[in-house]
Structure formats: structure tokens, C-alpha cells
Chain A
């Protein structure tokens, strides 16, 4: 029910001039940029994203969409991986540099007011939109369990954030260097069986999200997934980012990036 969606923003998106407060590598291959963005920080909800202008140069032309990892006070934090020319330029942004963002954008996570217990499943950089969700859920009294997966112990994204707000954090690594030796989805199966949550939230590689959705569905638990798509406009106009759903093609930037997992045609 949308009436109890504490997370769904009713604000219209805006174009906000922002400055870089910090831009640091936080893990091998993962960086975090903090932006002074008071207007977007005040209105962003868990699962929303911002569309960041990286440069005024035209050679890297398009904006890049990033889930809001955390929004506290006047600050918006984004997690990113240096993968191509755009994120390489992003890594060169210095404290004090100015740019702009469009946000908050997209449909965020929904969370019934009476949700007693939530399971949050993050795979790799999929932790990006889930940091804020875990924080806000905990703050209003929902018990949060986090299942966090990564290739190895050094690449467990946002582990400290989750440990500071969640009732319980379980980790899984492909090489067994921390926690469960194997896939995070194996943890999910066990965690749901032990203590069935009211909602499951997942973000990560799409095969992971799909498996989590199937496990949740088999257990009769509602599941929401945040999906990643290439985007051009970010505001619903260009139809680049469509997702196949039971309701037809839906725009990840507008009807998503958070979808009810039961509606996604994987």
C-alpha cells in the first residue's frame, strides 16, 4: 500500500548545483563521493537515484546514474566503481569541484509501516541503494538483517554502515575469506528459514537478485529488487532503460529502479 510507503518520494526532481566534499577509494575498486547537495539530500528516499554530470567536456557526454547510498544533513553519498572513461574522470574529482545532479529520481523501496523485520541482500556494489534503506528502516524500529556478498573479505561493500545499523549482518565470500564460503543466496535461504522477514530487499548482480526473488517467492515473502540499466536522460523521456515486466515494458528511471520482484520478467 502506497499510503504506508515511508520511502516513496513525492517531491519533483530538481537540478541542483553541488560541490564535492570528499572523493575517496573505500575498498579495492570501490570509491565513495560525498556531495554538498542540501536540496536533494532533504528529499531523497531509499532507492532513489541521482543523475550526475561528471564533466562539462563533451567527449564523455552523458550523465551517470547512481543510487543514493546515504543522505544525511546536506550531504549525498554515492558509491561507484571505476570501470570506464566516465568513472575514471569521476575519480579525478577534487574536494571543492562543482558540478550538478538531477534528483531525487525514480521509485524507491516501499516499506509497510508495520514491518517488524526486513532482510536486506546486497551483492557487491548492490550495497549502494541499501545503506540508506537499512538506516531508515532501523531508525523507525524495523529489525534489519543484512546478507552481504562479495568475491572476498576485502571487497565487502559498506560493511561498517550495515554493522552500525542492522540487528544482524551475515557475510558470504566466493573464496571463503570472510563468513560463509559461497554465494550470498545460500545465506538468504537459511536466514529466511530461521526467521521469516516481512520483506526482502535485494540489489546486486542480476542473477543474484533473481535467485533471491525466487527464494522469497517460495517462502511467500514479498521482495523488491533495485535493477541497474544503462540510462541516457534519467527522467523518463528516452526509453533507453526499459525493463520487461508483467505490466509490459517499464522505465527503470521512472517506474523503477526498484521493482516488485514478482513483476519482473527475468
Chain B
């Protein structure tokens, strides 16, 4: 008879019942998945990106499947922060789950304005600043691939909110640790990574790109080795918590990210494959800990034995 595994972890003062979150953009605001998942079992729910004004998103086709992955080019289609607060957040407030809102913008002013609008909303537990979307022309990844701009967005949001600030990092950089250090220096409480890898798919017979916007963001198991490497590099470079993601399909995948240094993890593309993926991952982490005689999931964080 073993005692139950303690799955709790803490991120920037947020006490989570387990380390498993949803990855922004793969779970909307949770309502669609509530048919399949008891949302109160999640560590946290991270919403789709929210901008100040409504964004229409990109032209179709917006998705192309690739071996062990998918490319998306949604382009942060969303109804804007007012509609988000009125409709999505009102619904989320009645769910028993910490809500992390992904904040998007075309400009530093837009990021700041979204954060300001959400500051008085008690249903918002934390902000995730999206400086890593590869699918928009202005803003998005442009802020996440330059240390000075990443720092500037972080500082602008930091000044207008007392909520925990998580900055979501792009893998489309030469030195992800340098970006992580620059947002930590401006007051980020945590970093999450990776967003999607910029990619492309071609229909040779048609001589055409498979995505309407030509390029898009790659996600799914295909990117897991890249994501693990970046989480490992960032966890050693900063002292704030790291939320790891990129191709997590199982509890064991999640454990790998925690061993690499992640305090929490996010499940993204797997939700499309299995709408109950988040729950499977939570149960899988608990099962792994039991099998290895680990009493607390937090003991996995950075426990990788190298050499």
C-alpha cells in the first residue's frame, strides 16, 4: 500500500494541484473540451491568445499535417479582450480551475492595454505574454526573437499588473537562454516554452504551399527533442520557474520535461488527437511517480542525472 503521490507544484505564487496545463490555442477557453474533461482536474487552463481588438486570423488553409506533427497558421483569430471577458471569462469564473490568460498584441501598447483590462478580473490567476506566435506579421514572434524587445514587452506588462507574469518564448532563436534571462531581468515570474517552430509544407504536384500564409508553426511529437533541449538550456540559465511544452503526448513525456528542469508542463496538440489527453498525462505522471517510489512530483524537477 503506497500513499498517494503529491502532485502539487507552485509557479510564481500560484499553487497548482498538479503540473499539467493546457497549451494556449489548443483548448480555446475550455468549454469545448468540458464535454470530455473535468476541468477541475487540470493544474491550470491557459486560454487562447487574447488581443485588444478582434483579430480575423489568417487565410485558409490554416493547417497541414506533417509526419508526427502539424503546421498551423491560425493567426491568433480572437474576438478581442472585451468579448473574452464577457463571454469566455464569465464562463471560466464558474469553473474550479486556475485561469492563465494568453496576452497577444501587435505592439507594446496593445500588450499593455490587454494586461490593464484584465488586471481587475479576479477570475484571471496569471498572464502569459505571447511574444512567440510565428503566424502574425506585426508583433508576435518579432518581440520574442530579440532580447531588447522581449525585455521591453515584459517590462511594459509588468508595470501594469500585480498578477504573475509568464512570458512564452519562441524556439525560433539562436540563443533561447539569452531571451529567457532578459525577460527574467524585467520581472517575469516564469517562462513557458516552446511555442511552435516556424515551418513549411509544400504540395509538389500542385507546385503550391499547403498553408494559405505559406509558413506556419510546427507542433506535436516531431518537435519534442527540440523543446526538451531548450527547456534544459533555459532551466539552467534562469532562477524563475519554467513551464515546458512541445509534443507532450503521455505522462512519461511530461516527466521528461520535468527532469529537464520544468516545474510544470503544457499539453497542446495532443488534445486534438485525444480530447482526454490532459487527464491521461496527469494520471501518467502519478503512475510514474508511484512506480519509481517518488512521493512528490516536484521532486522530478531538474532531477536529470547527467554524466
Contact = CB atoms under 8 A, between A and B. Distances in A.
B241 interface: no
Contacts of A254: 32
B32 A233 contact: yes
Nearest to A243: B60
B74 A13 contact: no
B60 A229 contact: yes
Nearest to A102: B275
B220 A249 contact: no
Query: Which secondary structure dominates where chain A touches chain B?
Result: loop
| Interface size range on B against A | 20 to 34
Interface residues of A, number: 28
A238 B64 CA distance: 13
Contact of A240 (B33, B62, B276): B62
A139 interface: no
A232 B36 contact: no
Interface string B68-102: 11101010010000000000000000000000000
B166 to A, nearest CB: 21
Nearest to B269: A61
Contacts of A63: 272-273
Interface string A237-248: 111101000000
Given A58-B221, A230-B64, A232-B269, 8 more contacts: A14-B35, A15-B276, A60-B65, A232-B272, A233-B26, A233-B272, A238-B72, A240-B74
Interface of A: 12-15, 53, 58-63, 86, 102, 229-240, 242, 249, 254
17 contacts: A14-B35, A15-B275, A53-B274, A61-B68, A61-B220, A62-B272, A63-B272, A63-B273, A233-B26, A233-B272, A237-B32, A237-B271, A238-B25, A238-B26, A238-B28, A238-B63, A238-B72
Interface of B: 25-28, 32-33, 35-36, 48, 56-57, 60-65, 67-70, 72, 74, 77, 220-221, 249, 269, 271-276
